[in-house]
Amino acid sequence: MAKGTFKKSTTKQRQTAIKKAFRKPIPNKYLLALFAIAAFALIYSLLFIIGPSSYGDDPTYLSLAYGAATGNFVQSSYIFSVRLMMIFPIALFYKLFGVSLYTDSMWDILCFVGSVIAAFFIGKELYNEKAGIIAAFLLSIFPLTAILAPTVSDNIPMMFMTAMAMLSILYAQRRSSKFWYFAAGFFLIASPLVTPEGFIIIPIAVLYLVIELFRRKITVNRKSLHLAYGVLMAGLLLMAFNYLNSGHPLITYTTNSNYFSAIGVMQNGAYTTIGQANQNLGLYPQWMFPYNILQILASNISRLNLNPISIWDQLYITNFNMSGFFFYALVIAALYLIARKERRAYFALFWFITGIMYLEFGPMHFSLIPFQYLLTHRLPRFMALIAVPTALVIAIALMKFADSGKKQIFKIKRMKLPGWVNLRTAIITAIMLFLTVTSLQISTIQYSAMALSRYDAFTIANYLGQLPNTTVIYYPASYTQMFSNIQIYMKFDNLSRFRAVDNIENCTAIPVNSYVVLTKYAKIGGLNYTPDPLNMCPGWQTILYPRTGQNYSSAIEGYAYPFRAVLYYVKSNQSG
């Protein structure tokens, strides 16, 4: 009896200590540092703002958001129409501030900054304020997140929602808090409403909670049941909205279910959804570790080339990757933490490992009769799901290294250094500088590539925007991700004037006084007069051939500028 009383008392004392620590104000220097990092992330994103990119689903989200802002949005069997946490936040910015590059990207940018702040509070909770600050900074420069933030990528809001879900679970567990349990349930439902990949956080969270339940770190009681209440409340609100908007309370479920169950199915010789999905198990490792370090080092050693500058020139080829050296740092950090048996990193390690395992081996389509387990589709931007835990693991490892004493596993011999030099601090600073310099270089190259990829459409849209909004415009709909941005840059003004040039067989089918946008080098079905349509359509006049005045490397131009575009004016509809 006495022993049980002692244990109970100790548990209460521990919970009381945790609550006091939670209420303890964060020192001003850390708040100031966090504010500086968040401001850096915000300003950096605004400086390189892209709006809709030319390689994602950005135009679709913006078109639906504009419809929602103007009262013309109804959910349907269209897969994008049920992604409410992308559509309505953007619609709110449109409603408040109008259509612009800034309102296009503001939801992503705010979610990026919000994720940086969330990383700080998770790092602070797991280790200390210093680890939180480092995690926040690392996330702000991580190429994967910094590159996507100025666009309209659904993966940045997904990263924010999943980070808030995990932060809520962490707080709920440690504070035994009704509010945070409820918030966790709410965010678990909100995450898949950004993009279906957000569903991944649900099995991750459930598995974590089950393990903690068996470890007796949490108990099923009135407080923890608020997790179910949060899920129930979010689910009921979603069904109510679905019913009021479309008349079908379960349309979110049915639309996603029908879409993903049809992956790999063909009708009339074409896939009904996204084909068979990319199931190559080697893609994520290639994207995470892009430099072939061991292969390059082995090759140079075999050739007796020990010139470090020469090796570095071969090694540091960006190849437009989105990871830099972050995942190399993560592997080293994870091994160090495991070797040191650092239990405070367990949460972040668990989050990362389960996240990457699901991205690698999880099903995109699953059925029992007939049995089918179609591996999940693979894109580098999906790795935003594991960006926050990646930053956390590296940050905790750096702080553990800084705080370690003589018993550390990786010993560093004492060196005769000036009194003001701290060797551990110098090593940590060098690592941070290395990650910063290499990451910013990658991000800058990617920003240049994205700016170049939208240059043609942006320039043509600016010219067309000066004409009356009744001017008829033909553009290649088959290159939706490149040329549908023209409508967005022209602020969706009178969408009825936009027509598809695809499958038009000759010039006479296009009315006089119309404008036609064609790719310079790429084929278009039907009116395929590239590269010189004026020979076939003498009634046309070249109005604009956008050519950027900046000097880009041939690598960037080949990567981001493959089609080129030309704007023509139809003076007469005669054919050659």
pLDDT at 1 over 50: no
Residues 476 and 392 in one domain: no
Same domain? 161 vs 238: yes
Query: Are 390 and 483 in a shared domain?
Result: no
Measured CA to CA, the distance from residue 543 to residue 296 in angstroms comes to 49
Whether 437 and 517 map to the same domain: the answer is no
Q: How far is CA 1 from CA 5, 6, 7, 352, in A?
A: 6, 9, 10, 42
Rg (alpha carbons) of the chain, rounded to whole number: 27
Q: Say if residue 173's pLDDT is above 80.
A: yes
Residues 6+ apart with CB under 8 A from 66: 91, 94, 99, 492
Q: How far apart, in whole angstroms, are the C-alpha atoms of residue 544 and residue 567? A: 5
Residues 444 and 493 in one domain: no
Domain annotation covers residue 197:
yes
Are 480 and 363 in a shared domain?
A: no
Residue 8 falls inside a structural domain: no
Count of the separate structural domains present in the chain? 2
**Which residues, in sequence order, are CB contacts of 230 under 8 Å at separation 6+?**
181, 182, 183, 184, 185, 186, 188, 189
pLDDT per residue as tens digits for the range 210-254: 999 998 888 889 999 999 999 999 999 999 999 999 999 999 999
DSSP-derived secondary structure for 242-272: HHHHHS-TTHHHHHHHHHHHTTT-EETTEES
Encoded tokens for 497: 């004037």
Residue 524, classed as helix, strand or coil, is coil
Same domain, 49 and 166: yes
Q: Does one domain contain both 177 and 246?
A: yes
Domain shared by 276 and 322, yes or no: yes
In the chain, the percentage of residues whose pLDDT exceeds 90 is 56
Residue 9 falls inside a structural domain: no
* Domain assignment present for 10: no
Q: What is the pTM of this model?
A: 0.89
Do 387 and 493 share a domain, yes or no? no
Distance CA(566)–CA(518), nearest Å, equals 6
In a domain, 5, yes or no: no
| Cα–Cα dist 147/112, whole Å | 11
Is the model more confident about 429 or about 15? 429
Distance from the first to the final alpha carbon of the chain: 101
Alpha-carbon span 44 to 46, nearest angstrom = 6
- 408: CB partners within 8 A, 6+ apart: 340, 401
Structural domain for 556, as ranges: 457-570
Name the DSSP letter for residue 508.
Answer: G
Q: How far apart are CA 58 and CA 152, in angstroms?
A: 5
Residue pair 321/290 in contact (Cβ under 8 Å)? The answer is yes
Q: Which of 64-68, 132-136, 297-301, 348-352 has the lowest mean pLDDT?
A: 297-301
Residues in Cβ contact with 530 at an 8 Å cutoff, skipping those fewer than 6 apart: 518, 519, 520, 521, 522, 523, 524
The verdict on 481 and 398 lying in the same domain is no
**Least confident stretch, 119-133, 394-408, 510-524:** 394-408
The pair of structure tokens assigned to 234 is: 């979010």
Closest CA to 412 of 421, 400, 401, 420: 401
- On whether residue 20 sits in a domain, the answer given is no
Residue 576, in any domain of the structure: no
390 and 493 housed in the same domain = no
Candidate from 10-14, 59-63, 189-193, 233-237 with smallest mean pLDDT: 10-14
Q: State the Cα–Cα distance between residues 371 and 374, nearest whole angstrom.
A: 10
- Domain membership of residue 3 (yes or no) is no
Lowest mean pLDDT, pick from 126-140, 344-358, 475-489 = 475-489
